Amino acid sequence: MSVFVIRRLLQSALVVLVMSLLVFVGVNVVGDPVEMLVNPEADQAEIARVVQSFGLDRPLYEQYGLFLLNAFKGNLGLSFVYGEPALKLIVQRIPATLELALAALLMAIMLGIPLGVFAGLRPDSKVSKTIMAGSILGFSLPTFWVGIMMIMVFAVMLGWLPSTGRGATVNVLGIDVSFLTWDGLAHLLMPALNLALFKISLVIRLSRAGTRETVLQDYIKFARAKGISNARVVLVHLLKNILIPVVTVIGLEFGGLIAFSVVTETVFAWPGMGKLIIDSIHSLDRPVVVAYLMIIVLVFVIINLVVDILYSILDPRVRLRDVKA
């Protein structure tokens, strides 16, 4: 086990290092680092100061070392637009993105599993066929377009929900959350559903396939033969057994939700990390872009590491194969 974890840790560190090298090369070799790191309106003295602090007058390998050192200290430059440390700006936006992603995850589970189980129990009914057709659409529809259409229908035409923004937030343990106020919930509903759409389709397919396999098992037949009520068979015997693959996949897909929140946040003007990076790319706020790239890589490497380790605990074969290879 420890061999496996150490190997994975080393590998993760290597990935972060390679990505930092890529970002460094992208910024300092392909582009002009002075132009990237200094505000276009800065004077000579400011340029000289930045050149000094980032060591841009030194050889490349020393520059890379300095870049890494600065990154470790959390110094990734000041935002041109906000005049604050880039890292701080991004960290401030993380709770909004996480809230959106978690809400979407919850929706995928709450809607996807019941619909999928129903479609699996009655594969030939009209409703099931509609659910499955809907899940095909959910896979094919481009997220951003669905978001625009949701705003069109529910905010502009019907006027039921607010179109953009986060609404009122409540401060809980130093973190602003919006799901505790009605206004915040109303603002959260559409973006979360939009982000969840793809995952709902995925969960529907998984639970349908799982249900169709499981209902044929002997223990389900036996439970029915014992005279247990249909509700109990479905909710206890069946659900417990289809949950394992569903939960695994949902866990794996959490990273995908954070990646795709870039799209949803832009459509719904949700003030999270994703909106910040897109705004920063547009306003050429390069320190924030560089900081975001480093942080998102770090976040994903950590997610992957955790998933890998959890997987190896659940399934020892993964760990054994890896050590052998």
Partner 1 sequence: MATVQQQLADFPVAEAGGRAQTPFQRFRADFFASRLATVSLYVLVAIILIAVFAPVISPTDPYNLATVTVLDARLPPGVKGSDGITFWLGSDGAGRDLLSAIFYGLRISLGVGVISGLVAVCIGCVVGLTAAYFGGRTDSVIMRIVDIQLSFPAILVALVLLAILGKGVDKIIIALVVAQWAYYARTVRASALVERNKEYVEAAKCLALGHRRILFRHILPNCLPPLIVVATLQTAHAISLEATLSFLGVGLPITEPSLGLLIANGFEYMLSEKYWISFFPGVALLVAIVSINLVGDQLRDILNPRLQR
Residue 10 CA to residue 15 CA, distance in Å, equals: 9
Q: Which residue in 300, 309, 311, 318 binds partner 1 (CB under 8 A)?
A: 300
**Among 131, 189, 196, which Cα is nearest to 165's?**
189
Q: Which residue in 4, 20, 23, 33 binds partner 1 (CB under 8 A)?
A: 23
The reply on whether position 304 binds partner 1 by CB under 8 A is: yes
Residue 25 CA to residue 31 CA, distance in Å, equals: 8
Q: What is the DSSP secondary structure assignment for residue 229, as one 8-state letter? A: -
Q: How many other C-beta atoms lie within 10 A of the C-beta of residue 80?
A: 20
Q: What is the DSSP secondary structure assignment for residue 57, as one 8-state letter? A: T
Q: Which stretch binds partner 1 (CB under 8 A): 63-71, 131-139, 206-214, 230-238?
A: 131-139
Q: Which residue in 2, 30, 72, 171 binds partner 1 (CB under 8 A)?
A: 30
The reply on whether position 134 binds partner 1 by CB under 8 A is: no
DSSP strand pairing (175-177 vs 170-172): antiparallel
Q: How far is the CA of 293 from the CAs of 6, 75, 264, in angstroms?
A: 25, 14, 18
Total number of residues that touch partner 1 (CB under 8 A):
44
Q: Which residue in 66, 68, 141, 298 binds partner 1 (CB under 8 A)?
A: 141
Q: Which residue in 45, 61, 72, 157 binds partner 1 (CB under 8 A)?
A: 157
Q: How many other C-beta atoms lie within 10 A of the C-beta of residue 276?
A: 26
Contact 263, 144 (CB under 8 A): yes
Q: Which residue in 6, 21, 152, 170 binds partner 1 (CB under 8 A)?
A: 152
Binding site for partner 1 (CB under 8 A): 11, 15, 22-23, 26-27, 30-31, 136-137, 139-145, 148-149, 151-152, 156-157, 163, 255-256, 259-260, 262-263, 266-267, 277-278, 281-282, 289, 292-293, 296-297, 300, 304, 325
